[in-house]
Each structure stands twice: as structure tokens, then as C-alpha cells.
Amino acid sequence: MSKTLFDKVWDAHIVKQVDDGPDVLYIDRHYIHEVTSPQAFAGLEKRGLTVLRPERIVATADHNVPTLDQHLPIRNELSRLQVETLITNCRKHGIGLYGLNHPYQGIVHVIGPELGFTLPGLTIVCGDSHTSTHGAFGCVAFGIGTSEVEMVLASQCIMQPKPKSMRISISNRLGKGVTAKDLVLYVISKLSAGGGTGHFIEFAGEAIRALSMEERMTICNMSIEMGARGGMIAPDETTFSYVKSREFAPKGAEFDSAVEAWKQLKSDEDALFGQEFTFDASDIAPMITYGTNPGMGIKISSAIPDEDEVLPNDRKGLGKALAYMNFERGKPIAGTSVNYVFVGSCTNGRIEDIREFAGFVKGKKKAANVTAWIVPGSKQVEKQAEEEGLLRILEDAGFALRQPGCSACLAMNDDIIPSGEYCVSTSNRNFEGRQGPGARTLLASPLTAAAAAVTGRITDPRTFL
């Protein structure tokens, strides 16, 4: 029987099938952080249980950590308590922890792939919705709730109904100045923020195959922003090359043997998907959001749409969204003054993103009105940016590189956008208050963020290329 990539990975991990119920799924890799794990560990202790397989768990501190002066105690009492609780729980249960000031610390969905803990064909969970990032390696990776974190800690398994399958194919190649972030924002704008609900999405086609691994992670990271349970891309030579050099990846003959197995991780030619969509990469331009969900996106050269120009799902809430964002129908979005720029997060906080931003601002100067937070996704990214001379480029242009963490993505730390201010952000969500009470988030690529940072307004980056 023909199978999709998703079917192959999911079915290989079923421990037990419950009649008319969920599957009991074995979990290969469990990532944890300081926000959703304390309650789960407390639940274990209350029930007199221990962690079944601590060697399958990787922990880091990322959401609540400051991005300046990380050598000092965390000032916020709750944030400090959560990080300290993570340290205590990991020590007690023998779990590997990459905490503040560790050379491998960083955002959980950045350090997993860069250290080689994320490998093709695994099942991966984390108490964080953007666990879908790891699907770029051909993994079944998805976010879970606190009670499910407890379940996996205790049993290394989880009960889950099997999602439906969807394939999104992107033909041809992306144009100059158009990035993976633009691609996924374009797709979400076409299908809506709920268009993938109940599905695991496989991304395929020439444009996807041409992407680097870090670009693929951006695509899968944002698959849940269209309501999907997760996203996947079939592993190929690009994947194998990326994995081979990673610290904790298989080595030598073990790696060669693994690659032979990984090569089977692809959908059969005649596999059937629940839904299929195809888009042309040549139609994709630099994108930016104008509303309060990731599906409210337009080409940067376009005007703010009216009700008859948006998807049915967004028509009812368009007026409220535009009022919150202080935008008017029919007005161009380009040229809007912007005082904040954020580059970072598990979506666009990797070394290629920092390179892209630095390459654009090289020889230019930060606009006087702009506050820019450039935040590496990990200590490894921070170190590489310095070694490659990117730090000097940023400093010469008037920017500073902060320390690793989730930063302004979700306002759980000190990096909060003031009320009423626009922020061109490379993160993944633009809901009301996501980056701070009253903050107005404009999702975009690192290139578009760089253009805003040097002009002080929303600008098509292609005008500089």
C-alpha cells in the first residue's frame, strides 16, 4: 500500500492502536524548556513517578531569559524562578541541560538541529507549538500541552489521533530578494490561518528542494500558523550534508548506515493526500502582514485590502484588525513609518538570517528613529556571527547583536514593543499583544526587516538589490 512520508514516520512509531481512538505513539526526542516543564515535573512527583528515559530529553532555557547581561541574575522574579526550577528538575532526573551561559544554550528549536539531536525520521515533541520546525528533517514533530509533557516524561509515549495529510507543492524558483519567509507567508495568505487545520503538511516542489536546511526550518516552523499540526519536508542530500557535521549526530559507518535508511523517507509516487495545493514561486514577492493573524499578509508593493479582497475567514474580523493596526483600506503599506525592528526567534534567528540582515545593512546606517533588536537563536549562532565578521558589519552600521533567547517574539522577557508602535518582526505570530500590550506586529523576512531598519519605514528590499 502506497504511503506518504508522514504515514511512513507515524506508522513506524505506533506502539498501540486504540479502536476508534488515538494511537499510542513512541517519541524519539523530547525537548523541554523552562515555561511548560515545571508543572509537568510537579505532576510526576505528585504521582510518585520518575522520568523513564532522560537520555531522550534535551533541555534549554529560552523563553524567559534576558538578551542582555545574561551573566547576571535574572531580574524578573517569575522568570528567574522558572529557570531555576528547570535547573533543579534536570539535575534531579539526570537530564542534559543547556542553560544560560552554556556554549550550546539557545532557543530550543534552534539548538536541536544545530547540535545534531534532530535527525531524519524521528518523532519529536516539545511543550511549544513551533516544534513543527524539526519537520524540515522529515520528522513528525509537533507541540504538546503540559499534561502531555508529563505523559512523555513518564512513558516516552503519547496518545494522539492521527492527523490528515496535505501536500503543498511550490513550482519553479524564488526570485531575487524573495526568501523562504516570504514563501510561507504567501502560502498562508492564500490558504488562511486555518487552512491547514487537522493536517500534517508535506512541502514539496522545485522551490522547496532549492532551499537550504535553515530555510526549510523557517517553512516548517510556520506550518502551524495555517492551523496545521505540523509540516514536513522529505530529507535529501541537502539534509544529509547538514546533519553530518553536527556535534551529536551519528559518525562514520553509523552515519552512512543512517543515510541509507533516511533515503527511504519520501512519499511514494502514487501516495494519496487528503488535500493538495500547488503554487508558482515566480508569483511570490516580499511579503508583510497588515493584520492580526499570519494569514493577513500581502505583497509589500500592495495596498491594504478591503473585505472583498480577503479570504472569507478574515472578512468578519478585518475591521477590528485594521483598527488595532491603525491601517486604512486601499492605502499602500510601503512607506509606513516604523520605529522597531526585531530579527530573531525560532523562525529566523539562525546564522543564515543574521548573514542576510548583515549583508543588506553593510555599508549603510541604521535609521535614527529605529530601535533594532538583532537576537541570535543560540550561543553557537552568536559565536559564528562574530567569527564571520558579521558582528563588525552590524556595529559599523549602528546595530548591536544581543544574546540568545526568544526575545521580542512573545513578550515573556524584557524585550517588549511599546503600545502603539509598529515592529517589523521576523518572528511567527502577529496576534494582538503578541509582542507587548498594544504592540503592532508586521511579520516579514530578515531582508525586509533590514530594509526597514535602514530606511525607518516599510520598504521593498528589492529596491536596494
Sign of the torsion formed by the C-alpha atoms of 132, 189, 349 and 120:
positive
Residues 206-233 have a mean pLDDT of 98
Supply the DSSP string of 82-139, one letter for each residue: HHHHHHHHHHHHT-EEE-TT-TT-B-HHHHHHHHT---TT-EEEESSGGGGGGGGGT-
- Which residues on neighbouring strands pair with residue 58, listed in sequence order? 31, 96
In angstroms, the CA 359 to CA 304 distance is: 30
For the stretch 39-82, pLDDT in tens is 999 999 999 999 999 999 999 999 999 999 999 999 999 999 99
Span 441-446, average pLDDT: 98
At 387 the pLDDT is 98
Instruction: Locate 252 and state its grid cell.
Output: 562514520
Tell which CATH classification among 3.40.30.10, 2.40.160.150, 3.30.70.3170, 3.30.499.10 matches the domain 5-160: 3.30.499.10
Q: Please, how many CA atoms are within 13 Å of residue 142, restricted to the half-sphere of its CB?
A: 25
Closest by Cα among 113, 144, 111 to 126: 144
Q: Which of 199, 201, 220, 223 shows the shortest CA–CA distance to 211?
A: 220
Q: ∠ CA(408), CA(412), CA(413), 5° rounding?
A: 70
Note the pLDDT tens digit of each residue in 429-441: 999 999 999 999 9
- Chain segment 1-48, per-residue pLDDT in tens: 899 999 999 999 999 998 889 999 999 999 999 999 999 999 999 999
pLDDT value for 386: 98
Q: What is the DSSP string of 174-216?
A: PPTT--HHHHHHHHHHHH-TTTTTTEEEEEESHHHHTS-HHHH
What's the pLDDT band for 261 if we cut at 50, 70, 90? very high
pLDDT 10s digits, 306-334: 999 999 989 999 999 999 999 999 999 99
Give the separation between CA 126 and CA 168, rounded to whole angstroms. Answer: 25
Q: Output the pLDDT for position 398.
A: 98
The CATH number of 287-464, from 3.30.499.10, 3.30.70.270, 3.30.70.980, 3.30.1490.190, is: 3.30.499.10
Kind of pairing between the strands at 14-17 and 23-26: antiparallel
Nearest 10 degrees: CA dihedral of 241, 246, 252, 258? -60
All three cell numbers of 416, joined, read 517588549
> How confident is the model over 146-164, as pLDDT tens digits?
999 999 999 999 999 999 9
Name which of 133-142, 305-314, 357-366 the model is least confident about. 305-314
Q: Identify the CA nearest to 351 among candidates 309, 379, 311.
A: 379
Rg of the chain (C-alpha set): 21
**Domains of the chain, residue spans:** 5-160, 287-464
| Whole-angstrom distance, CA of residue 261 vs CA of residue 434 | 41
pLDDT average, residue stretch 211-219? 98
From CA 142, how far away is CA 461, in angstroms rounded? 33
